[in-house]
């Protein structure tokens, strides 16, 4: 078989169908995990995220980023396989055919936007003029809508290809046949995952080439996204520092110095820290249980919290803790990590840490807990 004929076979409808199924699965996983992450960060009234299992957010976001990265070779291969069809004439054969072709624009354009912004975001490279979360979220809905139209148009053909056994491949004369091509694409996706997963799966950390962070590299043995220097907090005046617990939900507002916080009974817990950007680690934290602070302040049953940082230069300066998570015994105002006083980059003098919360909600440099 000539190389040209093998290329044609590789670009066969069967290749397009198999790659389409793989992409459909990958995009569905990304969509479900992405929308879940969105709901956790901006919960509507009907949504509550539990504090157990402690590592569920870590799995969700690790899966999101790894599946998204695995989709990149799949999308490139799919576009390569089907691109000759884009130049077929007549361009539009019927109204339905026209609608199906029109849906390709948001499908392909939106997919490229999702993969590029997603990859840029985890590498802290955001040259676009819009908010990452808003753009990525809107693109996800557009792509999934266009995907539904695409599946409706191509579902029957795809199922037909999946149901039939593939025709035996003719002997190769050195070029890449369809099976070889698909195996190479699957290999590329697998390699992308293996070379990135070390940012959250510690046995693979030695192979972390494609992800910018490793579970074990950073001050006190794990990574940092926002440093103390980036928010102007490399030194904190401990004489002036107070942890205030107040708000309409308490009977006895508290104002505690750092030394008073250290003198309170402390609790130790291994709680994962899982960044929205896909990396995660499992440090050992030590600090004052938030539940104890609330008891001292006479907080009402069923209260919720707004935890506020002393840094004022980042949008991440406050986070909510809903009523369901407030009773969690491992929700700590952490003062130490991995046996040492918190590094400024990890939130010295005190940071919030709670099981199953996204990293952006584990507020650093905490100065106030408002009880509502």
CB–CB of 281/272 below 8 Å?
yes
The residue (of 136 and 161) whose beta carbon lies closer to ligand HEM is: 136
The residue (of 139 and 369) whose beta carbon lies closer to ligand HEM is: 139
The residue (of 264 and 316) whose beta carbon lies closer to ligand HEM is: 316
214 three-state secondary structure = coil
The residue (of 266 and 280) whose beta carbon lies closer to ligand HEM is: 280
For the CB of residue 286, give the shortest distance to ligand HEM in the complex, in Å: 28
CA-based nearest residue to 11, from 71, 101, 80, 108: 80
Give exposure, 308-344, as e/b (b: 16+ Cβ within 10 Å).
bbbbeeeebbebbbeeebbebebbbbbbbbbeeebbb
For the CB of residue 158, give the shortest distance to ligand HEM in the complex, in Å: 18
CA-based nearest residue to 2, from 121, 171, 245, 192: 171
The residue (of 31 and 202) whose beta carbon lies closer to ligand HEM is: 31
257 three-state secondary structure = coil
Distance of alpha carbon 230 from alpha carbon 224, whole angstroms: 11
For the CB of residue 294, give the shortest distance to ligand HEM in the complex, in Å: 28
The residue (of 178 and 364) whose beta carbon lies closer to ligand HEM is: 364
Residue 251 backbone zone (phi > 0: left; psi -120 to 50: alpha; other: beta):
alpha
Beta bridge partners of 334: 287, 351
For the CB of residue 68, give the shortest distance to ligand HEM in the complex, in Å: 2
State the residues that interact with ligand HEM by CB under 6 A: 27, 30-31, 34-35, 37-38, 41, 64-65, 68-69, 71-72, 114-115, 118-119, 121-122, 133, 136-137, 140, 143-144, 276-278
For the CB of residue 41, give the shortest distance to ligand HEM in the complex, in Å: 6
CB–CB of 243/333 below 8 Å?
yes
For the CB of residue 300, give the shortest distance to ligand HEM in the complex, in Å: 31
């Amino acid at each position: 078989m000539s190389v040209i004929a093998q290329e044609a076979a590789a670009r066969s409808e069967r290749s397009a169908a198999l790659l389409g199924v793989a992409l459909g699965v990958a995009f569905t996983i990304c969509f479900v995990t992405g929308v879940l992450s969105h709901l956790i960060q901006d919960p509507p009234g009907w949504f509550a995220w539990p504090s157990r299992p402690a590592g569920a957010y870590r799995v969700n976001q690790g899966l999101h980023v790894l599946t998204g990265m695995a989709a990149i070779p799949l999308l490139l291969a799919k576009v390569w396989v089907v691109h000759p069809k884009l130049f077929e004439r007549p361009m539009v054969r019927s109204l339905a055919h026209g609608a199906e072709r029109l849906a390709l624009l948001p499908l392909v354009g939106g997919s490229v936007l999702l993969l590029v912004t997603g990859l840029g975001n985890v590498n802290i490279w955001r040259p676009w003029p819009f908010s990452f979360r808003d753009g990525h979220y809107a693109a996800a809905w557009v792509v999934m809508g266009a995907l539904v139209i695409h599946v409706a148009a191509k579902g029957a053909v795809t199922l037909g290809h999946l149901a039939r056994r593939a025709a035996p491949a003719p002997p190769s004369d050195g070029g890449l046949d369809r099976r070889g091509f698909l195996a190479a694409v699957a290999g590329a996706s697998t390699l992308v995952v293996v070379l990135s997963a070390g940012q959250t799966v510690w046995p693979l950390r030695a192979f972390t080439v494609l992800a910018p962070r490793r579970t074990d590299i950073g001050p006190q043995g794990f990574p940092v996204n926002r440093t103390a220097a980036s928010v102007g907090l490399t030194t904190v005046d401990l004489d002036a520092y107070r942890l205030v617990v107040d708000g309409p939900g308490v009977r006895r507002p508290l104002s505690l110095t750092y030394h008073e916080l250290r003198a309170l009974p402390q609790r130790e817990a291994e709680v994962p820290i899982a960044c929205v950007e896909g990396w995660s680690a499992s440090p050992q934290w030590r600090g004052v249980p938030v539940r104890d602070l609330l008891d001292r302040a006479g907080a009402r049953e069923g209260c919720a919290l707004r935890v506020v940082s002393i840094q004022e230069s980042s949008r991440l300066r406050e986070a909510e803790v809903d009523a369901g998570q407030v009773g969690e015994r491992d929700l700590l105002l952490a003062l130490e990590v991995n046996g040492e006083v918190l590094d400024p980059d990890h939130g010295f003098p005190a940071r919030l840490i709670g099981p199953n919360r996204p990293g952006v909600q584990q507020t650093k440099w905490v100065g106030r807990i408002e009880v509502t």
